[in-house]
Amino acid sequence: MKEKLFDSEAKVMEILWREGPLPAKEISLIAADSIGWNKNTTYTVIKKLEAKGFIRRDEPGFVCTPLISEKDIRKNETSSLLTRFFGGSRKALFSALIEDEELTDSEVEELKNLIDKRLGAKEDKKKDRK
């Protein structure tokens, strides 16, 4: 994915990921209520998302459909963050995340479980190759 998703665009995408395909008018009503945007602002952002290929607008009613998943965006943004600020080092990113924040015992346990799960999947792949 070459295009970057800006904060305003992410807000509209979040509406679409949460609600599913919606007419542009409905998106503008939700954005007005939840973000405080006027209709013109929302429509401008929708046009930018369409130009970037993140959404498709169909007639009748300018129904907007997301063309990229939240998971794909998250993966792309994480990769960009990793490259820009941590020299591609996942260890450095992870260290920064847990260094500055007090973690509860349950959060520490969840992180351990994620690592264990990842290690288990890696071991399974090694066994499959043999």
User: pLDDT for 18-50, tens place per residue?
Assistant: 999 999 999 999 999 999 999 999 999 999 999
Chain centroid to CA 91: 21
pLDDT > 80? residue 121: no
In this predicted model, what pLDDT tens digit does every residue of 95-118 receive, in sequence order?
888 887 788 899 989 989 998 998
pLDDT at 110: 93
pLDDT > 80? residue 127: no
Say what percent of the chain tops pLDDT 70: 98
pLDDT at 26: 98
Integer Rg of the chain from CA? 20
pLDDT at 70: 96
Can you tell me the distance from the alpha carbon of 23 to that of 62, in angstroms, rounded to the nearest whole number?
Answer: 5
pLDDT > 70? residue 87: yes
**Does CATH place domain 7-68 in 1.10.10.10?**
yes
* First vs last C-alpha separation in the chain: 35
pLDDT at 72: 93
Say what percent of the chain tops pLDDT 90: 65
pLDDT at 84: 93
Can you tell me the distance from the alpha carbon of 106 to that of 98, in angstroms, rounded to the nearest whole number?
Answer: 14
Q: How confident is the model at residue 124 (pLDDT cuts 50, 70, 90)?
A: confident
